[in-house]
Structure 1
Amino acid sequence: MKNIGFIGTGSMGSLIIEAFIKAKYIPQKNVHMLNRTMEKPLKLQEKYKKTTIHQNVNELLRDCEWIFLCVKPHEMVAVLESMKENITTNHIIITITSPLQVEESERILQPSSIPVVRFIPSIVNLSLDGPSLVTFGSQCTKKHRKELWEMFSSISRPQLITPPITRVASDIASCGPAFLSFLLMKMIKGATDETEIDEETALKIMERMIIGYGETLRQQHFDLETLKKRVTVPGGVTGVGLKVLEDEVGMMFHHLFRETEKKYREDRRKIVEQIKDREEP
């Protein structure tokens, strides 16, 4: 088994580490971590005692073949630059941030021809299921793609995506759980404000409904549209509720995607500027 390095052990970095260990795809002894501060990797090491913590990027590159970069978007360019001196063609770089394109990562790592893949996870991958988004760089061979796909499939259901849909696909796969949680909490608030149900009971029913809902889709009893039709009896209560949703939701999600695209463009602009500044003599 290859040694897998993780630069950044924050929210998503630690989630990915835990998911791979839970899936038994990466043994603890093959997990190597590097973080700006020691608190987070030490906390993970308390739970997974056979993991290794490194002090600098050169140590990590020496001991690992595949490297996950789990840092914030504005830190990604500098981290890639710091790897250039000791990186080799035996390494594969796996970025998890949407604003940085794979071809840009490849360009930063030149003159070495380093395979780069972008893997955008979702919090639901901790259940060893749910979507992840994958974009392979030009240096990834068929062998690389097969091995990486197998690894990603151990904790998720990977979906190949192209750059133009990166942000919207991430909104659905990665931001979607937060958006849905917000809407469900609003539904519970409405229920408790307008009826005699208490919050604890409403929350318990809602969580069980969502688990069953996901399992129903998993077992392919219905798709989204046929499920809605099956529940909606003509002249029934569900139809009345759906009419309220149709009237009230309106362009809400159009506005949501416009705002996330706007933020994405701003993040892209900053990364492009960082790359340009480093390329200028």
Structure 2
Amino acid sequence: MNVGFIGIGSMGSLLIDSFIGSGALKPKQITASNRTFAKAEKLADRHPGLLAVPLNYQAAIGRDIIFLCVKPLEYKRVIEELWDVLKPEQLVVSITSPVMLSQLEDCLPCKIAKVIPSITNYVCCGSTLCMYGKRMNEDDKNRLNGLLSFISTPLMIDERHTRIVSDLSSCGPAFMAFVLQRFIDAAVEETGIPREEAVVIASTMFYGTGQLLTEGGMEPQQLQARVAVPGGITAKALALLEQELDGVFNAVIRATHAKYNEDLERVTLSLYGKEVNGT
């Protein structure tokens, strides 16, 4: 299998590092392009055998799978660069949530999929959210899922739920890390515990909590009930959290959805023009 990557920013480079580190791909199976070519060259230096190319279409020619890891408003330019070189049997995989499968199928002559990776894939865990275009057959899906399974658990989702599942799977690690950071900050400020010690303790706690919620088979409410003795210290603190955080995560979800809907409109305008979306 030969794989191309167009765009090697934060998530593009993470996927490449993870595929190589997990043994899913050898560097010589990967071709990568980036708007700043020096960045692609640096990646090739880190993974000897990986081919860095200066032009996007060069990362797509002859590749079995091409990952598009660019920002939403860069898609029109990239699509125009790829149109003449893509073949019907090739598979283009977008990792950008506000670019729809139907839009890519309108604009490209090949098979289309969309996946939403997570930073947790860097340590070969967590989920990759998968959506498949109409031109993909079962062999295509199995090939893509087989590649992704080296670094994650591929989960098929309905594209209508892209934003909320992305909140949970892809944005979630940042949200939970923020909460953990604030917990650590408060522990240091209130008690004087060394920050390094607090980070180690809190991080291992977080890892163990994740294990309980997955391999351990516990649900979040069940875990809380197991820890919080009625009338005890944990129960009192949980009551305070429930009061102080009431509505916070509802507001977080509304904020991410508002930005997503804004991006949807901008992408549609970029790809089709004003006359299509009615603005």
Same fold (TM over 0.5): yes
> Shift of the alpha carbon at 1:221?
4.4
Paired residues in the alignment total 276
Q: 3-state DSSP class of the match of 2:60?
A: helix
Q: 3-state DSSP class of the match of 1:169?
A: helix
Aligned to 1:175: 171
Aligned to 1:131: 127
| 193-202 vs 245-254, which moves further | 193-202
C-alpha distance in 2 between matches for 1:279 and 1:119: 29
Aligned to 1:50: 49
Q: 3-state DSSP class of the match of 2:204?
A: helix
Residues 210-231 of structure 1 show CA distances to partners (whole Å, capped at 9, x for unaligned) of 1222223332242222111111
- TM-score norm. by structure 2 comes to 0.95
Aligned to 1:64: 63
- TM-score norm. by structure 1 comes to 0.94
Instruction: Determine if the alignment matches structure 1 residue 34 to structure 2 residue 33.
Output: yes
AA matched with 1:248:
E
Aligned to 1:120: 116
Q: Cα RMSD over matched residues? A: 1.5
AA matched with 1:241:
A
> Shift of the alpha carbon at 1:186?
0.7
AA matched with 2:42:
K
Instruction: Determine if the alignment matches structure 1 residue 224 to structure 2 residue 220.
Output: yes
Instruction: Determine if the alignment matches structure 1 residue 242 to structure 2 residue 241.
Output: no
5 Å matches for 1:1-281?
2-109=1-108, 112=109, 114-277=110-273
AA matched with 1:176:
G
C-alpha distance in 1 between matches for 2:27 and 2:198: 39
C-alpha distance in 2 between matches for 1:121 and 1:170: 9
> Shift of the alpha carbon at 1:56?
1.7
The answer on whether the counterparts of 2:37 and 2:54 sit within 8 Å (CA) in structure 1 is no
C-alpha distance in 1 between matches for 2:8 and 2:149: 21
> Shift of the alpha carbon at 1:185?
0.8
Q: 3-state DSSP class of the match of 1:62?
A: coil
> Shift of the alpha carbon at 1:99?
0.2
C-alpha distance in 2 between matches for 1:15 and 1:208: 23
Q: 3-state DSSP class of the match of 1:134?
A: strand
C-alpha distance in 2 between matches for 1:6 and 1:235: 55
C-alpha distance in 2 between matches for 1:62 and 1:278: 32
Residues 10-31 of structure 1 show CA distances to partners (whole Å, capped at 9, x for unaligned) of 1000000001011101111101
Q: 3-state DSSP class of the match of 1:246?
A: helix
> Shift of the alpha carbon at 1:279?
8.9
Sort the Cα spacing of 1:169 and 1:132 in 2 relative to 1 into closer, same or farther, 3 A: same
> Shift of the alpha carbon at 1:81?
2.3
Unaligned stretches of 5+ in structure 2?
Answer: none
> Shift of the alpha carbon at 1:180?
0.8
